[in-house]
Amino acid sequence: MNVLPNVEYLEDARLFIWRPSGTLDEAAVNAVLVDLVRRESMAAVPFNRFSDLTDVESFHLTFKYVFHVALYRRLTWAGREPVKSAFFVTEQEAAHLVKIHALMTDYSPLRVEMFDDLETAAKWLDVPVEILTPKAGPTAL
C-alpha cells in the first residue's frame, strides 16, 4: 500500500524508497516519517531505506529541524535490529543536511551513508542497481 506518491516499498527487497522532488520542507519530511513509522510498525522484519534527493530543487529545512528528526529517529530505533539508510545526493546543500543526520545517528542501529552514484549505494544495500534507478516517466509526443 503506497500512501505517498513519491514513496515505494519493495517488500521482497525489504526496501523503502523515497524520491522527493521540488521543494523539500518540514511538511514533506513529516509526511514521509509518518508513513515510514507506520510501515515499521507493521513490518514482520526490519527493512532498509533509500532516499534519492536528486530531484529536490530547494531545501527549506533548518539545522534545528534536521537535528531533531535525526535525534527522534535515533531514539525510536534504539534497541532494534540495525537497518541501513542510504541517501543518494548530488548537490552540496543536500549533502550538508544528510551529514547532520548521519552524525546524529552515528553509533546507533541506524546505519546512514551518503552516495553520489547508484551502483555503490545498491551494493551497500545489497540490492540490484535497477531497483534504485528511477523509472522513466511518460515521454512527450
Place 57 in a pLDDT band, splitting at 50, 70 and 90. very high
Question: Per the domain annotation, does 14 fall within a domain?
Answer: yes
Whether 1 shows a pLDDT value over 60: the answer reads: no
Question: Per the domain annotation, does 41 fall within a domain?
Answer: yes
Q: How many domains does the chain have?
A: 1
The four Cα atoms 38, 41, 43, 45 give a dihedral, to 10 degrees, of 140
Question: Per the domain annotation, does 137 fall within a domain?
Answer: no
For 71-106, what is each residue's pLDDT tens digit?
999 999 999 999 999 999 999 999 999 999 999 999
Query: Where in the sequence is the domain holding 100, given as residue range(s)?
Result: 7-132
Question: Per the domain annotation, does 43 fall within a domain?
Answer: yes
CB 2 within 8 A of CB 37: no
Q: How far apart, in Å, do the first and last CA atoms of the chain sit?
A: 32
User: In whole angstroms, how far apart are CA 80 and each of 43, 90, 117?
Assistant: 13, 31, 29
For 16-31, what is each residue's pLDDT tens digit?
999 999 999 999 999 9
